């Protein structure tokens, strides 16, 4: 790509996994271009990340994944990065797939590349399967184009998109907000097939009831914008 890319990793109470993720990233990517946004963790997440020499932003309290991403976006713009790659901190995103994002944007262009998981009940827990399919359908309708995995946190986003759209949400629904607002401004959205691993001992930070209500509220607001 010949461009500066920042890896943005929101993290909340991930002391057991953040080091393993950064170990994997270190063999593929320069850790001086990695930012961990610690979202008010109560464990050693920030300390472990700091030991790896990555950029670190620590939120004083748990403000939500959306706010952590927003901090990462602001940091990338301030430091002059031309794009960000966002990924989760719980090892469900394989760092070895980063070159796929970079290769696609070099060869085909695009403004947002979404890592799209295979949605079937053989490799995805039922509740995630249901929620992801429903939210992706709603996001597609609001964006005016088909998006197969609107909740995927594994993405490449050009900084020009982040400078141009106003983000108002603070939690998981921000991932949908980005897609809809970028699509409505004419930015190109592409998808990258990715593998996602689900581990039985990982507890999702998504609250099925509260975050569904937040998503519905966002959808209603976007419907009238």
CATH of the domain at 62: 3.90.550.10
d(CA 117, CA 88): 14
| Of the candidates 128, 215, 204, the residue with the CA atom closest to the CA atom of residue 177 | 215
Extract the tokens encoding 14: 């991930």
Give the pLDDT score at 208: 56
Please give the residue range of the domain that contains residue 134.
5-223
**Considering its fold, how many domains does the chain have in total?**
1
- Tokens, residue 59: 């939120």
Averaged pLDDT in 10-residue chunks for the chain of 225 residues: 84 96 94 97 97 96 94 97 96 93 93 84 59 80 89 95 91 86 95 76 55 65 72
pLDDT attached to residue 150 = 87
């Amino acid at each position: 790509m010949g461009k500066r890319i920042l890896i943005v990793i929101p993290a909340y109470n991930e002391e057991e996994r953040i080091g393993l993720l950064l170990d994997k990233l270190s063999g593929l990517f320069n850790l001086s271009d990695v930012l961990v946004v610690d979202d008010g963790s109560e464990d050693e997440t920030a300390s472990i990340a700091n030991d790896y020499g990555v950029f670190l932003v620590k939120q004083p309290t748990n403000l939500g994944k959306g706010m952590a991403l927003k901090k990462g976006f602001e940091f990338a713009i301030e430091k002059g990065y031309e794009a960000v790659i966002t990924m989760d901190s719980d090892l469900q995103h394989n760092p070895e797939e980063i070159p796929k994002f970079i290769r696609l944007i070099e060869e085909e262009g695009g403004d947002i590349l979404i890592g799209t998981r295979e949605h079937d009940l053989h490799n995805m827990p039922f509740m995630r399967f249901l929620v992801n399919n429903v939210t992706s359908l709603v996001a597609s309708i609001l964006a005016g184009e088909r998006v197969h995995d609107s909740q995927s946190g594994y993405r490449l986003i050009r900084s020009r998109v982040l400078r141009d759209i106003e983000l108002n949400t603070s939690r998981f629904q921000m991932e949908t907000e980005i897609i809809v607002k970028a699509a409505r401004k004419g930015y190109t959205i592409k998808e990258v097939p990715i593998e996602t691993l689900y581990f039985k001992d990982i507890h999702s930070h998504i609250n099925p009831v509260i975050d569904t209500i937040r998503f519905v509220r966002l959808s209603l607001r976007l419907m009238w914008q």
